[in-house]
Structure 1
Amino acid sequence: MGTKWKSIKLLGALIVVMALFAFSNHRSQLRKPTEISLKFLGDDRLFITQDAVNKLLIQNYGSLENLPKDEVVLDSLEQTILANDMIKNAHVYYTVNGQLKANIVQRTPIGRVQGNDKFYLDDEGKRMPLSPFYAARVPIITGEVTGDALSQIYELLKYVNQDGFLRKNLIGIHVVSDNDFQLRFRMEDFVVELGAIEKLPQKFANFKAFYAKATKDKILGAYRVVSLEFDNQVVCTKI
């Protein structure tokens, strides 16, 4: 009798727990979310603000406070956020207590095209619009920037960003033609004639050796043009 009574009590407790879980889950599904909580991962210099993202969501869905939880499609919210050209990745989710959150990763500009058509070049080699909220400090790209030239500039900037000296000091790239590029460096008046985007390790090794020697001799200001177009040498033109 005792064993049977214990089994009945255990079954009853199990039924109660299942009923509470179902009730809690039902209430959770009906619970209306508050405004979505946004978190920008990585760089805190925002090309798009939290208010701008919230306005984007309101334009598409209205106030999320008016929607039950089971009517909120997370994938759809993510795609709406990703439709903004400033955003690289977004993950929308509910916390265990029912709070709606979104983790957002912005795109990363590595160069800025300054011409009739103004835009950033991002770290995937794609065009990225300028932001009304923040201007990135990246090398300025001038000249006739064709599609082929832009793809070569992307390869150049990928190389530059892996080198501490170049990343810190390069401020400008000028497109002479699709296979001919000039560079500008911080605090120096001379133009560096890079030529084609080839043999970059050799060209920049030669340039850094020249730069170190000219800095030591205090003669950097004497040059107007520094050419890296010739194999294994740096050819300089004085002012």
Structure 2
Amino acid sequence: MKKRVFTYLRFSGLVLLVVLLFAFTGKRNKERKIREVQIEFIEQQDPYVNEATVNKLLIQNEGKVTSVGKEILVLNTVEQKLDSHKMIEHSDVYLTVNGELRARIKQRTPIARVNAVTPFYVDITGNTMPLSDSYSAHVPLIHNVSEREIPEIFPLLKKIQEDEFLKKHVVGVYTNVKGKYELELRVYTFRVVIGEVEDLDSKVKNFKAFYQKALRDKSLNKYKKVSLQFSNQVVCTLK
């Protein structure tokens, strides 16, 4: 009987010890501060948002994130805070077992800049985004286009972004007096009249063929305007 009681007391003491150790470890873990913050910008992108900005977004106040206890930092809330930033497309925030806070950031990608009273970018998804305080994107400048007209012009902007030939040569997009779109080139002074945003593949194909022939003929500097708005035709106006 005494042996059984002794065994029971020893087992109870062991359980109590384990509970106390867990409680002590949990308390110490809660009291631990974040040791280090690592911020990674995924994909090769220009720095439209910098590490200092991300650090400020990681917590609700302006202090250092390393001064915050691990139990205070709610990762879902942190991710929502980062994702709400107008320069960030997506974020992934997590804590490592040794107390490091890591944030993986994917920025939004601007493909054009609209010259307005308050200038703004158009991103790869067709949405607007503000200019960055950290970096100025090297993208075509859009003139005479309002924010409400972005959905209409977006297929043209996307085509310029995705086509290496257009991306290399086009520096500006204008709306002419007839409401048609024209392209400004980096080197040559002639305007390329796209017309309405339709049949873009065919128009770009025709322009590339014209460009290569005129380049061989050394005649590209002779033109004032090159129109692609007529079906399967390239109509040129001399200076």
1:30 maps to what in 2? Answer: 31
Task: Could you tell me which runs of 5 or more consecutive residues in structure 1 were left unpaired when the two chains were aligned.
Answer: 1-10
1:113 maps to what in 2? Answer: 114
Asked if the contact 1:28–1:98 (Cα under 8 Å) also holds between the matched residues in 2, the reply is no
**Counterpart residue type for residue 107 of structure 1:** R
TM-score by length of 1: 0.84
**Counterpart residue type for residue 71 of structure 2:** D
Distance 2:92 2:44 in 1: 17
Distance 1:195 1:121 in 2: 20
Task: Could you tell me which runs of 5 or more consecutive residues in structure 2 were left unpaired when the two chains were aligned.
Answer: 1-10
Mapping of 1:10-49 within 5 angstroms?
Answer: 24=25, 27-49=28-50
SS of 1:36's equivalent? strand
1:183-222, CA deviations, whole angstroms, 9 ceiling, x for partnerless residues?
A: 0122110001110000111111111111010000000000
How much is the aligned-residue C-alpha RMSD, in angstroms?
A: 2.6
Q: Percent identity?
A: 42
SS of 1:156's equivalent? helix
Mapping of 1:67-86 within 5 angstroms?
Answer: 67-86=68-87
Distance 1:79 1:128 in 2: 18
> What displacement does 1:40 show?
1.3
How many pairs are equivalent?
Answer: 227
1:220 maps to what in 2? Answer: 220
- CA distance 1:18–1:154, shift in 2 (3 Å): farther
Distance 2:177 2:126 in 1: 19
1:201 maps to what in 2? Answer: 201
Distance 2:89 2:192 in 1: 34
Mapping of 1:117-128 within 5 angstroms?
Answer: 117-128=118-129
Distance 1:186 1:17 in 2: 73
TM-score by length of 2: 0.84
- CA distance 1:136–1:203, shift in 2 (3 Å): same
